[in-house]
Amino acid sequence: MDYLDMDTENCPVRRALDLVGEKWSLLILRDAFNGVRRYDDFRRHIGLSEAVLADRLRKLVAAGVLRVEPYREPGARTRSQYRLTPKGRDLWPVLLALKQWGDLHAGDPAGTPLDIRHADCGAPVRVEVVCSGDDHATLSTYEVTVRSGPAARLRSA
């Protein structure tokens, strides 16, 4: 089946964007990966209105990307904090790839504001597309083929 003949309603990229593709959602996830947990800290750091932040957090929780956990500071009422779920943590390479692209194509001339390095050896971390075969070669877009998968459907006219 030719790519242009395929229906894109069940495209996994489209489905992922439906869940996390909005700018504020990605910035909430960026902060969650960097240790932000509390509503007020998200609001203060990202600069979102309360209504937008509450809506995006609710959607990320409903999608199973974040989970709500209660916490209570001494003498205060119980409040909620937000933690990444395994499904949410699986988005880390996506955010790292966006950061990598942003550093290269939209970065500050002074350099990156977030220097992400391997904790053990101190080397910079980067995202690559690799073959899952024995040689694990790094691949460019010119070295892959795209075929229809088992869920591919023909576009309706």
The CA distance from 63 to 72, in Å, is 25
Residue 157 has pLDDT above 80, yes or no: no
pLDDT digits (tens, 9 = 90+) for 75-129: 999 999 999 999 999 999 999 999 999 999 999 999 999 999 999 999 999 999 9
Position 148 in a domain: no
Position 150 in a domain: no
Question: Interhelix angle for 50-62 vs 39-46, to 10°?
Answer: 120
Position 151 in a domain: no
Position 157 in a domain: no
Which pLDDT belongs to residue 9? 87
Position 156 in a domain: no
Sole residue written with tokens 């593709």:
21
pTM exceeds 0.95, yes or no: no
Q: What is the CATH number of the domain that holds 55?
A: 1.10.10.10
Which pLDDT belongs to residue 156? 85
Give the list of residues 6+ apart from residue 65 with CB closer than 8 angstroms, or none.
19, 20, 29, 84, 85, 87, 88, 91
Which pLDDT belongs to residue 8? 87
**Which residues on adjacent β-strands are paired with residue 82?**
68
Give the list of residues 6+ apart from residue 112 with CB closer than 8 angstroms, or none.
99, 103
Residue 141 has pLDDT above 80, yes or no: yes
Which pLDDT belongs to residue 55? 97
Position 154 in a domain: no
Structure tokens at 13: 């990229």
Which pLDDT belongs to residue 91? 98
pLDDT digits (tens, 9 = 90+) for 17-29: 999 999 999 999 9
Which pLDDT belongs to residue 133? 92
Output the average pLDDT for the chain. Answer: 94
Position 155 in a domain: no
Domain that holds residue 8: 3-143
**Overall number of domains in the chain:** 1
